[in-house]
Structure 1
């Protein structure tokens, strides 16, 4: 896994989120697609909140709280190919459901900035990461620091595709809180 390449990909993807945020109207930002999916606001709250939590998992891998465990084969495949299998559908883990909420565009911009600020020190820290030190992911099993970074990249790209699907829909509803 090329750490510099993953960092670069994360930066490019984060820039795409920032550009999209500047292009969507505040009214549309809060509207839910008619199919019942998340609004832009909910996607931004989810993706950057959990990306920051993933950075905390990386920190725990680096500081000694980690355990020596195996990473499941399906997880290694996801990390290798850089995408979730198309047939796999994930729901937000129960412990994170309450964190998905509608935020303002300004809050989304602040979350992006916070994520980027917290990500920066890991460019150097990850150079000494021990691959056997892992922290549990709620769905994917145990990940080491580099795997957590790769997960952040894949997760960011996954939800950017979700925003592309939202963009293509004409029907929105504001009925969901």
Structure 2
């Protein structure tokens, strides 16, 4: 695995483990209870974090399997990635992209934990085999930021996980 991928994958794995420990520490009722109308419960937030990582991986795999030509990284790619990560660093709510799908009303934490563990292993295997000639190519189309490289995509996933950190902490301490 490329060293920059390894570092980011390790950080993603730490986020996953932290979120898992936080949700598991709650009672089943606490896991499912949203803090207010139209807000997510801890279990739903946990589901969302897994769903994003899983959907991104599936999209990249489909893109690579399509045989399309991938453009090299450009200034615009770097700029869009910067703006995306900046937006995620701010304390704003964003509408979930349609590609993520609807939020189920009740979420099995044990099921999500199992799925997220599997997705994490799939990410590791994928990154270990990721072709070196594609490292500076645009391979993931973010619904708002457009095309990103693999490194930028991993950074987006890290920023996304960090974006929800305070939200989960509030749910855990409520």
Q: Same fold (TM over 0.5)?
A: yes
Change (3 A) 1:85 1:3: same
Q: Would the aligned equivalents of 2:33 and 2:41 in 1 still touch at CA under 8 Å?
A: yes
Q: Which residue of structure 1 lines up, in the alignment, with residue 9 of structure 2?
A: 7
Deviation at 1:135, TM superposition (A): 2.8
Q: Which residue of structure 2 lines up, in the alignment, with residue 172 of structure 1?
A: none
Gaps of 5+ in 1: 170-177
Deviation at 1:43, TM superposition (A): 0.8
Q: Would the aligned equivalents of 1:51 and 1:152 in 2 still touch at CA under 8 Å?
A: yes
Deviation at 1:166, TM superposition (A): 1.8
Q: Which residue of structure 1 lines up, in the alignment, with residue 82 of structure 2?
A: 76
Segments of 4+ moved more than 4 angstroms = 60-63
Q: Would the aligned equivalents of 2:9 and 2:124 in 1 still touch at CA under 8 Å?
A: no
Q: Give the distance between the partners of 1:90 and 1:106, measured in 2 at CA.
A: 27
Q: Give the distance between the partners of 1:138 and 1:77, measured in 2 at CA.
A: 13
Query: Secondary structure of 1:32's partner?
Result: coil
Q: Give the distance between the partners of 2:126 and 2:98, measured in 1 at CA.
A: 28
Is the deviation greater in 142-151 or in 7-16?
A: 142-151
| TM-score, normalised by the number of residues in structure 1 | 0.78
Q: Would the aligned equivalents of 1:30 and 1:41 in 2 still touch at CA under 8 Å?
A: yes
RMSD: 2.6
| TM-score, normalised by the number of residues in structure 2 | 0.80
Change (3 A) 1:13 1:118: same
Aligned length in residues: 166
Query: Secondary structure of 2:130's partner?
Result: helix
Gaps of 5+ in 2: none
